[in-house]
Chain A
Amino acid sequence: MSLNEEVELLRRIPLFAKIEPSKLKLLAFTSERLTFPTGSTLFRQGDPGDAAYIIISGDADIIVETPSGPLKVAQLHGNDFVGEIAILCDVPRTATVQAASPLTTLRISKDLFFRLVTEFPQMAIEIMRVLAQRLERTTADWRAVAEKLKQTT
């Protein structure tokens, strides 16, 4: 896949949808494309966060370590963005991400990510929007769970 195709791919990701193509090209050029064989991990829960990943192709599982053993909480597919929380908030990884099939990703290092965010305010706004949406969705989920809990008790 060439740089131009990667740029096309990045544009399909909501986070980057509104960023000019030339900036996306820089992002693609300066980030590393990494492939993971099935079963290998992108990162582990508790590790320090050093990079975020964009899934180019393949699937990955998000696994949370619980006292009763690992629990798969979600699956990632092409165009998904993962690992940004740890680099944004400087907290350890909140979950483990594992390749569920041969996986191709674009790895954006922490430095690069911050540089892009500070240099291109549109990107920061986009990230805020995505995070806000996620928060809204989580709140809704949480409300639903609370409702359910209330009904069962």
Chain B
Amino acid sequence: MEHSLYKFIIKYSLRQQIILTVLSVASFIPYYYFLDIPKAIVNKGISSKGVTYPVDIAGLGLFQLDKVGYLLWLCGVFLFLVLVQQAFKYAINVYQGISGERMLRRMRYELYSRVMRFPLPTFKKMSQGEIIPMITAEVEPLGGFIAESFALPIFQGGMLLVTFAFLMVQNWMMGLAGVALYPLQFYFIPKLQRKVNALGKERVKGARRLADRIGETISGVQEVHAHHGSHRLRAEFARRLGAIYWVRYEIYQRKFVIKFINNFIQQLGPFFFYAIGGYLVIQGSLDVGTIVAAVAAQKEMGGPWKELLTHYQAREDARIKYEQIIAQFAPEGMRPPEQQLLEPEQIPNLNGDIVLSNVSFTDDHGTSVVDGVTVTLPNPGSTAVVGGMGRDELLLLIARLLDPSRGKIMIGGADIAEMPEAITGRRTTFIGASSYMFNSTIADNLLFGLRQRPLKLRDYDGAEKRRFDRETGEALASGNSAEDPAADWTDYAAAGVDGPDGLTAATLKALATASFDDDVYQLGLRGVIDPARDPELAARIMEARQAFRARLDDPAVAALVEIWDRARYNDNATVAENLLFGTPVGDKFDLERIASNKYMLSVLDKVGLKDRFLAIGYDVAKTMVELFADLPPDHEFFQQFSFISSDDLPEFKDILARTSPDKFAQISDADRGRLMSLPFKLIPARHRLGHLDADFKALVIKAREVFAADLPADLKGAVAFFDPEQYTRAANLLDNILFGKVGYGQAQAAERVGMLTADVIRDLDLRPTITQVGLNYEVGIGGSRLSSAQRQKLAIARAALKRPDILLLSEATATLDAATQTRIMDSLFEAFQGKGIIWSLHRAAQAERFDRILVIADGRLVEQGKFAELNRDGTEFHKLLART
């Protein structure tokens, strides 16, 4: 990106600037006539000065107009000029907007690209909160400025000159007097403005700090709660807001002083006209008309002059802002763009020993974190790195995620500093102690390591193609990437497979390598699919449902799951579920809202359950108040067991005090609603409150029928009914297989049901399919819907799928339990046989199986060798072993 704003503008928008300038100048012509036409209407059209009728318009005798006709003709011309003038304005504005937007797009794209080239340590000093507003908000006004950077001064300057010339023609002294004070303004205003600009910058910085603080608070919100830090944070935040306030305060004061001076000087013009001109009139050397014309002209000049001054100020502002942003986005050690943009046709393998010669790395405090390491690591082969500080950095250096301050790293005879990321990013993989996941599905995160460039373009046709081509053209016009994110970017060959079909098997294998297969399978079981889009899978799940049902015929397990049966009440489900006999879709019928749903209430009324609900609700409320009244409000029993939250308990106490079963006739609608909401949540087998007798259950079954039969059209989509022969669309896979509720009161019911379903799934060989559903699980922001252990496993699976030549792990499994750690190490050694593994280990004992062990202390390599060689008295390694 160019260092000066104007160079940037000229380099990327010269053509647009020229077009805009030409358009602006061209618009002077209709403007001139537009100014002239009123005079013609008044003098010729109305007063008929020097006009003889009929008027011959085109001079060919074709259009002969009488007086009225001529007036109308002139008025028509006036209207036409208005149109032409506005059309020019429209064209200029739109074109200006487009050019500004393109430049803005180019700038944002460039800044974003730069962020990805920043050396990693930059992010220790520069936070997200600072970077994001710079790319999003702060560059925004630059786009607007760029669009008018040339056209505006030329246009307004032209206007100014024209008016000045007019003034000079009238009376040259007056003309000069009109502009006499301009140099004064031109000198003073920018001076004053400079201070305001500086304050403006201060304000921007303040806003950035504010954004930074908000970002930090969100990231650390758990800590805020855990230590009741909100009080202090609010105080700090208030001070930061205060800082912005005071800056703004000063800006306002100065800004209006400038305005004051500006307007004052502006009015000095008329002052002189009246004073000097008036004197001259009295002296008899000037006529009054000239003074009036001069004042009017000076006023005309005021507009463009003001615009020019504003533009001058905006230019200063834009220039500084631009330079500031560019400086921020060019940290020392930034990688050159080629390193990310180069895509060599052939990606060489990184086989051959990894040779570090005198490699040092100094952090931003000047501490040598890695200090003069010279070593040769076997590749293929395995290396363990143990010891103290500097291990992580050493691996980051080999993965080229950090650049050494001194020294060189060669792999197979090639300097890695020279390699484009296309090679290092494909042939090496670094996994740290905590891995970041993008807010997408597990599958997308897994394939992130295989998607480096579009390999199979997507075909578009018809309107889609036109849209795509248009977008591509526009992207190129702004210097953006024109590549299609919707193309197939997956590098199947890198994963060692032919295409999407083979990838499935490779993915399952990678999941197994990372011990992540079971997690994904479990997520899949709880996943929801759309049977309309995936009828095959739905059919297979239905098979599983039948098989599971057959298993329940065994009396030993029959009570584990109570199957949904249209003709029977399900004791292990809530009353709401029994009424719906289906799964709510959306929130119309969810447990919290069902009691206030008008249609549901009308159904209850129809079958005569309304009064029963009220009576049961009253009883339940009474029991809850009795059970929970003595407990402190924050007692966890409320959350675990109560139908009524601790906040609502007093309200229910009041309701109970106000009413009793014999006064139900007079109960208020609000109280009735509150009480009636309780029975919906009852599960007879679990709560055992004894309210739900056979009679009640029979009525519920009746209500169930009525509910389904009369369901209005607008609610049809709000519930997916249970049907033994149909896949329930809103329910997850597991619920579809069970097609019932796990029975309460059965010892180890969950485990035994889990085993039964696992058997069924194994028999039908459904596990891979369910795992695939699990792959579509959305991991949430930063992978927050996965546990940290799951994120690590996902990162390892991603590496196993990508199959780099060199795998670097820096305590990558430290968050996992010991058994899983061992299992993953075993499977990674198997999967990466014949490749390079470099593993930074916390526990030295785990290093036994490695070909080579490096012992690092204070960033220096103190020992190296095989386990047997190092494991003797007196070595650092021996001490490390003893410590664990």
**Chain A interface (Cβ within 8 Å of chain B)?**
1-4, 6, 22, 25-26, 28-30, 32-37, 40, 42, 115
Contact = CB atoms under 8 A, between A and B. Distances in A.
B688 A2 contact: yes
B62 interface: no
Nearest to A1: B688
Given A32-B745, A35-B747, A3 B689 contact: yes
A6 B623 CA distance: 15
B627 A34 contact: no
A34 B688 contact: no
B647 interface: no
Given A3-B689, A37-B556, A29 B641 contact: yes
Contacts of B687: 3, 29
Given A22-B626, A22-B627, A26-B627, A33 B747 contact: no
Given A22-B626, A35-B745, A40-B747, A30 B640 contact: yes
Q: Which 9 A-B pairs have the closest CB atoms?
A: A2-B690, A36-B747, A33-B745, A26-B627, A34-B747, A3-B688, A30-B641, A35-B745, A34-B745
B744 interface: yes
A32 B630 CA distance: 21
Interface centre among A3, A4, A32, A36 (most CB of B within 10 A): A3
Given A25-B623, A26-B627, A29-B627, 17 more contacts: A1-B688, A2-B688, A3-B689, A6-B688, A22-B626, A22-B627, A22-B630, A25-B626, A29-B641, A30-B640, A32-B744, A32-B745, A33-B745, A34-B746, A35-B745, A40-B747, A42-B747
B769 to A, nearest CB: 33
9 contacts: A1-B688, A3-B689, A3-B690, A26-B627, A29-B687, A29-B688, A34-B747, A35-B745, A35-B746
Nearest to B641: A30
A36 B690 CA distance: 22
Contacts of B745: 32-35
A74 B818 CA distance: 39
Nearest to A99: B747
Interface string B563-594: 00000000000000000000000000000000
A33 B571 CA distance: 14
A36 B556 CA distance: 11
Contacts of B690: 2-4
A40 to B, nearest CB: 6
B637 interface: yes
A89 B706 CA distance: 56
Contacts of A26: 627-628, 637
A52 B688 CA distance: 20
A25 B688 contact: no
B744 to A, nearest CB: 7
A103 to B, nearest CB: 9
A11 to B, nearest CB: 16
A43 B744 CA distance: 19
A115 B746 CA distance: 24
Contacts of A1: 688
B627 A25 contact: yes
A139 to B, nearest CB: 34
Nearest to A2: B690
A56 to B, nearest CB: 11
Interface in B521-575: 556, 559
Given A22-B627, A26-B627, A37-B556, A2 B689 contact: yes
A143 to B, nearest CB: 38
A150 B744 CA distance: 53
A26 B746 CA distance: 21
Nearest to A22: B626
Interface centre among B556, B627, B690 (most CB of A within 10 A): B627
B402 to A, nearest CB: 45
Interface string B743-766: 011110000000000000000000
Nearest to B555: A37
A3 B623 CA distance: 10
A44 to B, nearest CB: 12
